[in-house]
Each structure stands twice: as structure tokens, then as C-alpha cells.
């Protein structure tokens, strides 16, 4: 096993697999029911858990009446504060790969921190028995009436945002205060985004089993290694004794990155009962205790001269967090890198509310921050009577002004021009309400898109088998985005072995440790490790081939290349499978770990994009619809343009949700009002606009040898701002609070 | 698991005789409301009588020109029926604006009439709700009431009736045929659903043991028809405000008009005050707006749903405009 330190060779030239549009290799399994999702797992002698949760937002659990529930048919046991195992909290450390979603352990105390907090787990022989008994558990509370669920209500509308400042989030350059004071054009506005929920299609579920002292958990997880490590810490057992399996995930969007308490409850129950336990988190509880994008409140101040040159940027953010688990969304974190401006100051604040822990939700922080910044720029353009696209171009950052480093690769200017041209931005009339079509008024809006292009450390295994197939394994996951496929494409590209003959294994913490499927970093992280592992295996193959009596005896190993599944040197070649068979070896494999190098200190890595939106506003019936979205994205190389484009399309739909519909509402009593798929409004098929995505193709070889930066989040950033800006162009109404609901349009 | 007795019946008299006891029994046809509510623990029937095999699946024209629709005709069949599409487009449009294709395939005509409110407080047994548990209070009045009614409310309940189909039927005019242990009776569609008043748990004029067997639509009304549904997203959401309009013109004047509203009221709402404003008057935007004002004269807004008054008026004005255009051909 090696750790890569040298810059590997670029993979470029004529590519046959990488960069090609490949349908997902797991598509057939998914369409035929062959994909084993977590809750599909049924183990011998299995039992079912069903949670009981708090119906108050704040207070104390005084008593649980369990007698009736315990007497119900099929009930095996009920776990709660008074009989739960004594466990340790996970250190909850991202760097140590044991971060969890809710740091509080289930049933840890009898305090009630939020509505929906687990207070008991009923385990029975069937799902129906467990659910029926759970409904017979009666809880007595001492209720506090001073719960807080709405941070927007705390805002005075002026000056500082509410909450506690997070000193580590603040950064500044120049003197933003003075520059703002002296700027001839000033803008000072507040923006907010409502609490959004991931609303994943595949429900959260744990199936836990102890065999002797070994714990196996089947989970719908975006991070099997993180969950494995956290469970080991919580139970105080070695990592080797815990396995977390997540072969297929039916969407996560961040809600499945970090473990939630249901997995701990289920694991404890399985140990206590000596039988496997399956708990599927009920849909209505998923909205309460598997994370969410926290409500955010932001203040943006921009100072500019009369030509539109930015003189100052202030960006203050505030998001809600939970007593059950701290989450800082750092909504202003990316702002210092976005535009060329000498005087910038950003801060973030937190307010603790009586809700479950927030967590990452697609483009966490940056999607929220981009909404505020990109809307503020549109407002500034109006003040300047300047085209909003020209304003952005005027302030293009030639290098990363925050880190004072060159970009590894930045084609934002081409994104702007390409998307503007395809969209027909030059037909825009800047006067609100000037473009009409029958009953409808048309509005155009745009925004810049961006997301940090990270890379993490990763291990992988690569094997050649004597039947000609390849085995590629990594403890990362495919969350539906196509990781299985791009790993196979990469293996195929490097070896010439057809994709159909490549066996990709992911979603198992016992495999070499891979990254979370999040942050858009899985692609840039995993593929170099796969490549390094392949080279390890190849070296062994070469040693075999050049050994005494081997086909390449006495041949210089450096002259041997790999082509079409064969080792080639000069005019001689041998099929690798044949080489293995000759040596009576079933599998030659290599394992390697890779991590980013000192390029981190020499360059700034970001993906970019531009999004243009057409809305249609029918004022006679207060109907707002997104009609058209055009986005051009610069993500380095797309390993699979088919799935990458699909990612951006999905991001746009999610951005429509943020802009138009999505918000979890709590009433004045701290009661979550719309925690169901029926009542939480997300875009549906009938809302789909014409979506036109174009991916630029400029490989970023500073990020890795494949030039890939990843694509999961960048497409979401800016979408809500572009919608809001288009709404202003159509209506003259500036809606600064997402979502843009009918009542907000009517009120303004 | 909540066990209940399931009995399938093949004949109508068998069905109604099985429902001698009112409490604890429920009919099931498509099940799109009942099964939901049983799983949510909102309804706890001890016995479920499956009426889906009863011979109530026909649509036939009566000698007097009315259209008799069996209670088990699915929402899809009714919406796509040749005569309904031709003579009752307002009803067809209303049906097709509701739910999803899958739900409409399952949902029956009678079941749609009987569907329960979507008020989240009603649907959560942990919350006080006068409709679900009389006397416990209304959580929506002091809570979140964005989706709630502004017409026909009481201090005990402000839940909307969720149906689109029923709004179309109120506009088209219809009669319900009920079969009970004591025989058959007919009720005007508009009189069937009850205002919440001080007994929101009583939602309709259905006596113990009775079953809806048919809806008889009035003979087709000439003129232009239109159903307009306004909501946040483009599909798969209950109305924030909807309007069914049928307009007859005599020259430029409105000779006959029928208006019904959905999403804004506690029952499928006939807007007769608005109709009165319009009768005999020119079909102008100004008159449409006056009618819309009249329709919401008695509206009561709560903390989050005041916008529905504006939205409801807009639905009326636009539906009238488009129905008038259809009347002119």
C-alpha cells in the first residue's frame, strides 16, 4: 500500500470511457428491484422497532405509561431513558470521521428539546404490532411555554442580526466599514430562507444485528465509514467490530451524511434482545429528526462607485441550531471569494431553537449565501441602472481574493456568456413588467453559481481476476448520482476492460475507507485512489510477467503498458487473465491511499456556473411559474456528462423548491405543521420548466489526474436568486424572503 | 396492528343493512381517504364494509335529460366520460385538477363526496381538534391556518372541504341519492355538506346506515363553463382557491350564471351572492369584480389566510372571464 505524493500523469488524449455519456451501470438492478436498499433487508429472526416521539417542543418528560403498550400483541420490549444502555457520545469530529447528526444520545436525559424528539422505542415481532403499541405509549410532560422555533421573529429588521456571533466564522480584508461609508452607491438589505427539508424518497432506516460482539448495521447512509466510526465510539468497541452497509441510497441530499439517533436506538435494541431489529423512521419524523437546512437570516451591504465597481461587501449570516446538535451553516463563508473587491467583512451567528439538529443540505451554506449575495447584486444593478450581468463581469475575480491564490481553473466568464447567449439575455427589458405575453408578464433574472471544489483522502482496492473481470472497491457510496458508473468508467479507461466486466463494490465500511458522498468531493477524491490502487496491482502483474519463465522475462518493466486488458511490450502482449491463469492466481489486487498535496496551498479550487431564469407572472390570478432555466457549468471534466447533467438538472429543481415552495412551518406552540410529503410543497413534474444545461469541458488537472472537480452542489447555488431577480423583473416586487409564496407577492 | 373486521357486500340492501350501527363502521370503496386516516390513527373503524363490488358503476342519461352517475364510478372515468366532457366540462376540469392520475383511478364518486379535510391538526391525533374529538378545541384558529377557510367558518372549526369534484357538482347542479335501512331518499347536493357550526364532527346529511348510491347531475346547462384552480404548485396540491363558473349570455348580458368556490370554504360553496350581482348585467370585467366582492362579503380572515380572500376573488373574475369567452364560442 502506498500513499501518493507525486503528481500523477494527466489522463487525457483520446478517451474512450471517461467523458462519455454512460447510463448508470446499476440502473437495471434499480428498475428490477434487485438493488438492496437498507429497509429491504430482512434478517432471520428479525424484529421491528417503532419510535415514540415528543409531542411538545420544550419541557421535561415526567413519566411514560407503558403498561398498555407492553401488553399489546407481539411486543418484545420498550426502550427509554430509564432502561437504556449507558453509552458514550461520539466525539463528533469531522476530521476524525466520526461526526454525527445529533450529538445527543437517544434518551440521554428526560429533557425535551424539540417536538419529534425520540422518547421511546417499541420493539415487536412485526411492524404493525410495533406501531400499534407505540401509539399506546402515553407520555406525561412538564411543558415549558418559552420554546423558540422561529428565528425570523427575533429580528428587529435593523442593525445586527440576532444570535451569538461565531468568532471563527468572521473574516475580513481591507476596511469594509469605511469603504461602505464613503461609497456613492450603497445597498443594505436583509434576506431570509425558510427551514427546508431534504424530503428524501428512500426513508431513513437501520437494520442492526449483533453476532457475538460484532455489530452490523444496514443503513441508508451517505457515509458508511463515518457511521462505523461513530458507532464504535458510542459503544466503546474497536472499529473492526462494526460494519455499516449501504449499497444503494434513494437520495440523501445531506440528510444521510451523519448518523441520526434511530441507528443508535436500533443497535441497542438489537443487542439487548439478541435479535436483529429494523427501524424505519416514520415519514413525519424524518422532517423532525434527520436534519434540515436551517432557517437563515442574512444582511448584505454593498458599496460601489458609479461605474459599478464594488468597493465594499459586508455579509452577515445567521442560522438556527439545536440543543441536540450544533450546526453552523456558515452562509457567508464563500462570499469573500466571489468577486473582486478590496474591502470585505463577513460574520456568522447562531440562534438555538427548539428543533432537531439542522445538518448539511445540498450546497450547505453557499446555496443560502449565494441567494443573498446574488439578489443584493441584482438590487445594486437596479440602483446603478446597469445590466446585472455586466455588473458581475465588471467585478470578476481574476484570482481568489480571499486566499490571494490563483484559481486552479476558472471559466466563469465563459459560463456567463454561454448561458446568456443560449438564454437570449439580450432580449431582456430591464423595466419591470415591460415584457408581456397575453395574461402573463415575463421576467428574466440571472445569478452566478459557485461551489468549493474539495478533495479528501481516500483508500481503494483494485483487482484483476483470472476470468478477465476487474474488482474495484471503495468504502464510499453511490447516492444515486452515478458513483458506481464513474468508477467503472475510470477503471475501463485505465485498463481497456469493457465496463460490463467491471465489478464495483461500494457502500460497505469494511472496504478501504472512502469519503462521504457529499460536498461534491466524492468524484475528485475517489478516482485518484482507484487509479493509484490500479497501479499497485499493475506493478504486481508486471512482476509476474517478467519473472523467470514469464512471458516478458528480461523485459524492462517500464516498457510494459496496459492496453485492452492486456500487458503489452513491443510486439508481444498477453491477456492479463491468461497471465493469472498461467500462474494459477485467481486475483491480483492492489490497495492505495491518496490525498490532496501541496496544490492546496498554491491554488484555490472552485467550480463555477451561471444560471438564467425566465418566470411568468399572471397578476390576474397571482400565478407565478418558472418557465425556462438555462445554466452553464464549469466543473472541470465531467467523467460522465449524462449523470453530471442530471445532477445539475436536479439541482435546478431543488433551487425552484427553495425559491418558490419549500418551508417547514412551526406554529406558535412549537408544533410542526407540515411535516409530511403531502403538506411540504416541493416542485412536481407539472412545475418542470424547460431546463437547458451545458457543461463546459476544461479538465482541472491541478485537482487530480482526471481533471474532475465534482458536480453535486454547484448547480443549486444561485437558482433561488435568479428566480427572485426574474420575479423583480416581471413584477417590480423584490421578495427577499424565500420561498416566494403567493401571499408575499400579494402583500408587497 | 389495529384489527378490524372486513366484510364484502354484493348488493345494496346488504350494504345498508350491514350499517345498522353507525359508530365504528365505515364503508370503503377506493380507500384513498379511509386507509390514509386509519394508518394515521385518525379513524379507528371496528368494521369496514367493502362496497366496491356493488353494481354502482354506470353512467346513464335519464329521460328528463339528467345524468345519473353511480357512486362507484371512478374519478378518472367520470372526468373522461364522453357526456361529461361534452355537457359538464366544468366537472371534468374540476376532477382532472385534483390529486394525481393514480389517485383518480382509485377514487370513487361517492368517496370523493365523503372525503375528509386535509387540516394537519385533524390528521394528527396528538393535537386538539373539534372535528376529530369534539370539545378538544380547534388548533388551527390559533395555529397555522394558511390553508384554512375564510367562508363558512365557526369558532369551533375552520377546516376547508378539500374536494374539487364537489365544487364542479355544485356549479353544475346535482342531487345525491342515498340508500338506507329505511329506504331511498334524495338530497340536493348543495344541502348535503354541513357548515361546522358548533358540531364540526357532523360533516354531512348522512343518516346512520345510509350509503350514497348515485349522484344525479342536473340536465346540462347551456353556456360557457370553466373550472379554475389556484395553488402554490402546478399539480398535486389542494386548492388555495378555486372557482367553477357556468355563464349563459343573452347578447352581452348574463342571463344565467352559477358559481361555486373551493379551497376557501368549509364546504363546497355556492356563491349565490355573486350570482345575484351578475344576473341580467353585462358580462364586463367591472361586473365580474363586483360579483367577486359580493362573494367574499362575509369572509373572515385568520392570521395566515387573509390572502385567500384576494385569491378567491381573482379566481372568480378569471373563471367568469373564461366561461364568458366559452359562452361566446
d(CA A317, CA B26): 53
Strand (E) or helix (H) holding B325: helix B307-328
Q: Which of A289, A306, A331 is the last residue of a domain?
A: A289
Give the pLDDT confidence of A225-276 residue by residue, as tens digits.
Answer: 999 999 999 999 999 999 999 999 999 999 999 999 999 999 999 999 999 9
A contact residues 523-582, partner B, Cβ 8 Å cutoff: none
pLDDT score recorded for residue A4 = 47
A95 at the B interface (CB within 8 A)? no
Pull the grid cell for residue A127: 411492524
Q: What is the pLDDT of residue B20?
A: 56
| A629 and A572, same domain (yes or no) | no
How far away is chain B from the Cα of A610, in angstroms, using its nearest Cα?
25
The pLDDT, as a whole number, for residue B1 is: 61
Three-state DSSP at B182 gives coil
Percent of chain A whose predicted confidence (pLDDT) is above 90: 97
pLDDT of residue B257: 98
Residue B298 distance to chain A (closest CA, Å): 20
Would you call A203 an interface residue with chain B, using a CB distance cutoff of 8 Å?
no
Q: DSSP readout, A317-360?
A: EEEEEBTTB-----TTTTHHHHS--S-EEEEEEEEE-SSPPP--
Instruction: Determine the distance from the C-alpha atom of residue A708 to the mean position of all C-alpha atoms in its chain, rounded to a whole number.
Output: 17
Contact residues on chain A for B314, CB-CB shorter than 8 A: 620-622
pLDDT-derived band at A6, boundaries 50, 70, 90: very low
From the list A126, A673, A684, which residue is nearest B120 (CB)? A673
Write phi, then psi, for A135 (nearest 5 degrees): -75, -10
| Cβ(A524)–Cβ(A486) below 8 Å | no
| Average confidence score pLDDT of chain A | 97
Nearest to A528 by CA among A597, A481, A471: A597
All three cell numbers of A320, joined, read 438556527
Closest CA to B323 of B273, B265, B274, B263: B274
Spell out the domain ranges in chain B: 59-100+161-193+207-217, 224-328
The residues, any chain, with a CB within 8 Å of residue A310's CB and separated by 6 or more, are A302, A303, A304, A339, A340, A341, A395
Interface ipTM:
0.97
pLDDT digits (tens, 9 = 90+) for A38-62: 999 999 999 999 999 999 999 999 9
A423 found inside a domain? yes
Residue A431's pLDDT is what? 98
Distance CA B258, CA B327 (A): 13
CA distance A557 to A398: 45
Minimal CA separation from B12 to chain A, in Å: 33
Quick one: average pLDDT of A11-31?
92
Domain boundary among A566, A594, A622: A594
CB A699 within 8 A of CB A636: yes
User: C-alpha cell of A659?
Assistant: 425559491
DSSP state of A84: P
> Per the CB < 8 Å rule, is B232 touching A742?
yes
Residues from chain A that touch B233, judged by Cβ atoms under 8 A, are 660-661, 681-684, 686-687
What is the distance between the alpha carbons of residues B33 and B114, in angstroms, rounded to a whole number?
A: 9
* Residue range(s) defining the domain that contains residue A532: 2-22+456-594
Contact between B233 and A743 using a beta-carbon 8 Å cutoff: no
Identify whether residues A387 and A420 lie together within a single domain: yes
Average pLDDT over residues A420-424: 98
Are A539 and A653 in the same domain?
A: no
Catalytic residue among A320, A440, A662, A713: A713
Query: Are A48 and A122 contained in the same domain?
Result: yes
Query: A132 CB near a chain B CB, below 8 Å?
Result: yes
In a domain, A285, yes or no: yes
Residue A86 and residue A230 in one domain: yes
Q: Which residue has the cell 429472526?
A: A45
Q: Please name the helix (run of DSSP H) or strand (run of DSSP E) that holds residue B322, with its range, or none.
A: helix B307-328
Q: Which residues of B touch A122 (CB under 8 A)?
A: none
CA–CA min distance B244, chain A (Å): 14
User: HEC states along B279-291?
Assistant: CCCECCHHHHHHH
Which residues of chain A lie closer than 8 angstroms to B232, CB-CB? 660-661, 681, 741-742
pLDDT exceeds cutoff 90 at A388:
yes
- Supply the pLDDT for residue A1: 46
CA nearest neighbour of A10 among A2, A22, A18: A18
Which of A129, A621, A681 lies at the smallest CB-CB distance from B233?
A681
Strand order in the sheet with B47-50: B5-8, B47-50, B25-28
Task: Provide the pLDDT confidence category of residue A3 given band limits of 50, 70 and 90.
Answer: very low
Is position A306 within any domain? Answer: no
Phi and psi at B17, nearest 5°, equal: -70, -25
B interface with A, Cβ–Cβ below 8 Å = 1-2, 41, 118, 120, 125-127, 139, 142-144, 146, 228, 230, 232-237, 240, 304, 306-307, 310-311, 314-315, 317-318
Q: pLDDT tens digits, residue range A347-366? A: 999 999 999 999 999 999 99
φ/ψ of residue B35, rounded to 5:
-65, -40
CA distances from A678 to A199, A252, A519, A624, B99 (A): 11, 19, 29, 21, 11
pLDDT at B24: 82
User: What topology is assigned to B59-100+161-193+207-217 in CATH?
Assistant: 3.30.465
What backbone phi and psi angles, to 5 degrees, belong to A421? -70, -45
Chain B CB contacts of A126 below 8 Å? 1
Superfamily name and number for B224-328: CO dehydrogenase flavoprotein, C-terminal domain (3.30.390.50)
> What sections of A621-716 are H helices per DSSP?
641-656
CA A306 from chain centre, in angstroms, equals 39
d(CA A733, CA A727): 7
Distance from CA of B233 to the nearest CA of A (A): 7
Please report whether residue A443 resides in a domain: yes
Q: Are residues A576 and A493 in the same domain?
A: yes
Look up residue A458 and give its three cell numbers. Answer: 481516500
Annotated catalytic residue A713: yes
CATH of the domain at A125: 3.30.365.10
DSSP A145-179: S-----GGGG--SSSSPSSEE-GGG-EEES-HHHH
Decide if A98 contacts A92 (C-beta within 8 A): yes
CA distances from A212 to A164, A239, A242, A608 (A): 47, 15, 12, 51
Position A609 scores a pLDDT of: 98
Cβ–Cβ of A131/B126 closer than 8 Å? Answer: no
- Together in a domain, A115 and A260: yes
A568 shares a domain with A420: no
Cβ contact A472:A487 at 8 Å: yes
CB atoms under 10 Å from CB of B226, counted, come to 24
Q: What is the pLDDT of residue A13?
A: 77
Structure-model confidence comparison of residues A654 and B25, the more confident one: A654
What is the nearest CA distance from B243 to chain A, expressed in angstroms? 11
Domain end marker among A541, A565, A594: A594
- Alpha helix stretches (DSSP H) within A201-323: 224-235, 261-273, 283-289
- A177 closest CA partner among A375, A346, A391: A346
A37's grid cell: 436498499
Residue A573, CA distances (Å) to A538, A550, A563, A564, A578 in order: 14, 12, 9, 10, 11
Q: Which residue has the cell 365580474?
A: B288
Q: What pLDDT is stored for residue A7 in this prediction?
A: 54
Confidence tier at A308 by pLDDT (50, 70, 90): very high
Residues of chain A contacting B143 with CB distance shorter than 8 Å: 667-669, 671, 673
Which residue from A minimizes the CA distance to B97? A686
In this model, does residue A448 exceed pLDDT 50? yes
Residues A546, A494 within the same domain: yes
Pick among A673, A681, A689, A690 to test the B interface (most B CBs inside 10 A): A673
The answer to whether B228 contacts A747, with C-beta atoms less than 8 Å apart, is no
Rounded to a whole number of angstroms, the distance from the CA of B16 to the nearest CA of chain A is: 30
Beta-bridged to residue A164, according to DSSP, are A350
Among B41, B144, B307, beta carbon nearest to A673: B144
| Beta carbon pairs, A and B, within 8 Å | 82
pLDDT tens-digit profile, chain B (329 residues): 678 999 999 999 988 876 655 568 899 999 999 999 999 999 999 999 999 999 999 999 999 999 999 999 999 999 999 999 999 999 999 999 999 999 999 999 999 999 999 999 999 999 999 999 999 999 999 999 999 999 999 999 999 999 999 999 999 999 999 999 889 999 999 999 999 999 999 999 999 889 999 999 999 999 999 999 999 999 999 999 999 999 999 999 999 999 999 999 999 999 999 999 999 999 999 999 999 999 999 999 999 999 999 999 999 999 999 999 999 98
Do A197 and A226 contact (CB within 8 A), yes or no? no
Examine residue A511 and state whether it is found in any structural domain, yes or no: yes
Q: Which three cell numbers stand for residue A355?
A: 428543533
Check CB contact under 8 Å for B314 and A743.
no
Which residues neighbour B142 within 8 Å (Cβ) at sequence distance 6 or greater?
A667, A668
| CA separation, residue A596 to residues A536, A540, B293, B312 (Å) | 19, 25, 67, 59
Number of domains chain A contains: 3
Q: Provide the 8-state DSSP code for B155.
A: T
What is the pLDDT confidence band of residue A473, given thresholds at 50, 70 and 90?
Answer: very high
Average pLDDT over residues A528-542: 98
Which contiguous run of DSSP H or E holds residue B226? strand B224-230
Do A585 and A601 lie in one domain? The reply is: no
Q: Which residues pair with A634 in a beta bridge?
A: A608
Which residues of chain B lie closer than 8 angstroms to A685, CB-CB?
Answer: 235
pLDDT of residue A582: 95
Element (H, E) at B249: strand B241-250
Of A55, A665, A747, which has the smallest distance from its Cβ to B126's Cβ?
A55
Q: Does A625 touch chain B (CB under 8 A)?
A: yes
| Ramachandran angles phi, psi of A663, nearest 5° | -170, 130
Residues 6+ apart with CB under 8 A from B247: B223, B224, B225, B254, B256, B257, B283, B320, B323, B324, B326, B327
| Contact flag B315-A685 (C-beta cutoff 8 Å) | no
Q: Do B146 and A743 touch (CB under 8 A)?
A: yes
Where are any strands of DSSP class E within A466-585? 470-473, 502-505, 561-563, 566-569, 572-575
CB within 8 Å of B309: residues ≥ 6 apart = B150, B264, B296, B299, B301
Do A285 and A423 fall within a single domain? no
Task: Tell me: do A614 and A717 sit in the same domain.
Answer: yes
Tell me what percent of the residues of chain A surpass a pLDDT of 70. 99
- Residues A506-511 have a mean pLDDT of 98
The answer to whether A569 and A561 have CB atoms below 8 angstroms apart is: yes
A428 within some domain: yes
CA distance B153 to B21: 30
Is A660 inside any structural domain?
Answer: yes
Q: Cα-atom radius of gyration of chain B, to the nearest Å?
A: 19
Quote the DSSP letter at residue B161: P
Amino acid at each position: 500500500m502506498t500513499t501518493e505524493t507525486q503528481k500523477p500523469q494527466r489522463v487525457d488524449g483520446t478517451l474512450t470511457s471517461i467523458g462519455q455519456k454512460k447510463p448508470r451501470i446499476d440502473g437495471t438492478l434499480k428498475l428490477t428491484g434487485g438493488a438492496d436498499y437498507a429497509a429491504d433487508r430482512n434478517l432471520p429472526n428479525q424484529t421491528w422497532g417503532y419510535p415514540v416521539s415528543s409531542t411538545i417542543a420544550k419541557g421535561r418528560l415526567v413519566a411514560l405509561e407503558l403498561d398498555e403498550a407492553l401488553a399489546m400483541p407481539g411486543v418484545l420490549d420498550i426502550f427509554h431513558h430509564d432502561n437504556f444502555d449507558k453509552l458514550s457520545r461520539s466525539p463528533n469530529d469531522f476530521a476524525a470521521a466520526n461526526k454525527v447528526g445529533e450529538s445527543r444520545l437517544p434518551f440521554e436525559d428526560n429533557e425535551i428539546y424539540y417536538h419529534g424528539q425520540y422518547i421511546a422505542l417499541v420493539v415487536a415481532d412485526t411492524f404493525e404490532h410495533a406501531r400499534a403499541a407505540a401509539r399506546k405509549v402515553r407520555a406525561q410532560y412538564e411543558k415549558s411555554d418559552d420554546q423558540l422555533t422561529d428565528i425570523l421573529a427575533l429580528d428587529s429588521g435593523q442593525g445586527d442580526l440576532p444570535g451569538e456571533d461565531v468568532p471563527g466564522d468572521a473574516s475580513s480584508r481591507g476596511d469594509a466599514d469605511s469603504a461602505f461609508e464613503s461609497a456613492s452607491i450603497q445597498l443594505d438589505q436583509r434576506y431570509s430562507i425558510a427551514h427546508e427539508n431534504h424530503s428524501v424518497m428512500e426513508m431513513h432506516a437501520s437494520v442492526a444485528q449483533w453476532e457475538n460482539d460484532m455489530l452490523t448495521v444496514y443503513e441508508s447512509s451517505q457515509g458508511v465509514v463515518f457511521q462505523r466510526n461513530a458507532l464504535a465510539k458510542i459503544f466503546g468497541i474497536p472499529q473492526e467490530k462494526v460494519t455499516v452497509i449501504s449499497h444503494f441510497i434513494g437520495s440523501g441530499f445531506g440528510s444521510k451524511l451523519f448518523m441520526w439517533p434511530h441507528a443508535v436506538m436500533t443497535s441497542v435494541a438489537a443487542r439487548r434482545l439478541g435479535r436483529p431489529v429494523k427501524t424505519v423512521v416514520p415519514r413525519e419524523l424524518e422532517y423532525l429528526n434527520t436534519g434540515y437546512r436551517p432557517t437563515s437570516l442574512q444582511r448584505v451591504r454593498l458599496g460601489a462607485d458609479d461605474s459599478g465597481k464594488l468597493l465594499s461587501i459586508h455579509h452577515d449570516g445567521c442560522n438556527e441550531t439545536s440543543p441536540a446538535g450544533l450546526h453552523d451553516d456558515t452562509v457567508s463563508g464563500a462570499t469573500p471569494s466571489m468577486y473582486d473587491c478590496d474591502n470585505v467583512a463577513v460574520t456568522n451567528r447562531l440562534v438555538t431553537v427548539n428543533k432537531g439538529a439542522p445538518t448539511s443540505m445540498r450546497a450547505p451554506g453557499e446555496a443560502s449565501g449565494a441567494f443573498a449575495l446574488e439578489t443584493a447584486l441584482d438590487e445594486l444593478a437596479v440602483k446603478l441602472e446597469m445590466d446585472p450581468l455586466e455588473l458581475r463581469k465588471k467585478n470578476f475575480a481574476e484570482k481568489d481574493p480571499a486566499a490571494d491564490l490563483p484559481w486552479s481553473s476558472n471559466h466563469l466568464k465563459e459560463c456567463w456568456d454561454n448561458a446568456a447567449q443560449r438564454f437570449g439575455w439580450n432580449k431582456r427589458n430591464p423595466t419591470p413588467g415591460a415584457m408581456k405575453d397575453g395574461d402573463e408578464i415575463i421576467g428574466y433574472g440571472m445569478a452566478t453559481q459557485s461551489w468549493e471544489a474539495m478533495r479528501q483522502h481516500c483508500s481503494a482496492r483494485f483487482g484483476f481476476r483470472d476470468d478477465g473481470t476487474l474488482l474495484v472497491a471503495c468504502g464510499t457510496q453511490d447516492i444515486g448520482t452515478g458513483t458506481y458508473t464513474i468508477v467503472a468508467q475510470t477503471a475501463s479507461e485505465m485498463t481497456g476492460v469493457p465496463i460490463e466486466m467491471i465489478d464495483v463494490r461500494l457502500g460497505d465500511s469494511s472496504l478501504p475507507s472512502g469519503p462521504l458522498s457529499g460536498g461534491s468531493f466524492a468524484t475528485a477524491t475517489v478516482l485518484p485512489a482507484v487509479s493509484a490502487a490500479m497501479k499497485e496491482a499493475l506493478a504486481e502483474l508486471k512482476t509476474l510477467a517478467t519473472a523467470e519463465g514469464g512471458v516478458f522475462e528480461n523485459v524492462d518493466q517500464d516498457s510494459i503498458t496496459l492496453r485492452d486488458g492486456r500487458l503489452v511490450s513491443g510486439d508481444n502482449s498477453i491477456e492479463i487473465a491468461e497471465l493469472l491463469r498461467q500462474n494459477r492466481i485467481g486475483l491480483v489486487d492492489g490497495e492505495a491511499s491518496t490525498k490532496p498535496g501541496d496544490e492546496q496551498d498554491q491554488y484555490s479550487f472552485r467550480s463555477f456556473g451561471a444560471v438564467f431564469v425566465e418566470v411568468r407572472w399572471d397578476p390576474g390570478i397571482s400565478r407565478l411559474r418558472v418557465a425556462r432555466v438555462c445554466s452553464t457549468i464549469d466543473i472541470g471534466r465531467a467523467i460522465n456528462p449524462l449523470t453530471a447533467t442530471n445532477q445539475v438538472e436536479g439541482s435546478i429543481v431543488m433551487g425552484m423548491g427553495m425559491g418558490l415552495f419549500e418551508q417547514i412551518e412551526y406554529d406558535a406552540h412549537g408544533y410542526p405543521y407540515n411535516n409530511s410529503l403531502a403538506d411540504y410543497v416541493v416542485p412536481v413534474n407539472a412545475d418542470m420548466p424547460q431546463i437547458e444545461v451545458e457543461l463546459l469541458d476544461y479538465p482541472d488537472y491541478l485537482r487530480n489526474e482526471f481533471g474532475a472537480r465534482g458536480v453535486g452542489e454547484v448547480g443549486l447555488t444561485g437558482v433561488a436568486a435568479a428566480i427572485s431577480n426574474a420575479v423583480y423583473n416581471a413584477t417590480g416586487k423584490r421578495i427577499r424572503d424565500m420561498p416566494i409564496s403567493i401571499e408575499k407577492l400579494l402583500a408587497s | 396492528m389495529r384489527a378490524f373486521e372486513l366484510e364484502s357486500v354484493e348488493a345494496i340492501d346488504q350494504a345498508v343493512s350491514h350499517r345498522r350501527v353507525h359508530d365504528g363502521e365505515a364503508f370503503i370503496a377506493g380507500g384513498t381517504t379511509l386507509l390514509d386516516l386509519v394508518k394515521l390513527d385518525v379513524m379507528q373503524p371496528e368494521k369496514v364494509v367493502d362496497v366496491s363490488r356493488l353494481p354502482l358503476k354506470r353512467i346513464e342519461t335519464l329521460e328528463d335529460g339528467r345524468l345519473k352517475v353511480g357512486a362507484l364510478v371512478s374519478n378518472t372515468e367520470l372526468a373522461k366520460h364522453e357526456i361529461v366532457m361534452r355537457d359538464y366540462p366544468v366537472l371534468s376540469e374540476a376532477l382532472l385538477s385534483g390529486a394525481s392520475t393514480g389517485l383518480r383511478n382509485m377514487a370513487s364518486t361517492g368517496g370523493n363526496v365523503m372525503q375528509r379535510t386535509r387540516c394537519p391538526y385533524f390528521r394528527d391525533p396528538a393535537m386538539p381538534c373539534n372535528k376529530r374529538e369534539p370539545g378538544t378545541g380547534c388548533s388551527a384558529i390559533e395555529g397555522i391556518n394558511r390553508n384554512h377557510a375564510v367562508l363558512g367558518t365557526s369558532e369551533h372549526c375552520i377546516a376547508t372541504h378539500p374536494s374539487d369534484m364537489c365544487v364542479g357538482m355544485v356549479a353544475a347542479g346535482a342531487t345525491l341519492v342515498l340508500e338506507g335501512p329505511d329506504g331511498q331518499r334524495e338530497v340536493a347536493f348543495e344541502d348535503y355538506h354541513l357548515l361546522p357550526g358548533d358540531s364540526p364532527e357532523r360533516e354531512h346529511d348522512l343518516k346512520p346506515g345510509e350509503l350514497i348510491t348515485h349522484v344525479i347531475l342536473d340536465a346540462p346547462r347551456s353556456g360557457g363553463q370553466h373550472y379554475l384552480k389556484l395553488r402554490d404548485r402546478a399539480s398535486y396540491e389542494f386548492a388555495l382557491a378555486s372557482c367553477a363558473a357556468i355563464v349563459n349570455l343573452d347578447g352581452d348580458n348574463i342571463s344565467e350564471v352559477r358559481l361555486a368556490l373551493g379551497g376557501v370554504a368549509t364546504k363546497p360553496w355556492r356563491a349565490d351572492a355573486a350570482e345575484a350581482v351578475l344576473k341580467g348585467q353585462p358580462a364586463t370585467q367591472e361586473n365580474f369584480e363586483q360579483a367577486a366582492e359580493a362573494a367574499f362579503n362575509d369572509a373572515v380572515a385568520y392570521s395566515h389566510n387573509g390572502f385567500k380572500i384576494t385569491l378567491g376573488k381573482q379566481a372568480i373574475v378569471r373563471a367568469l372571464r373564461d366561461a364568458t369567452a366559452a359562452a361566446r364560442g
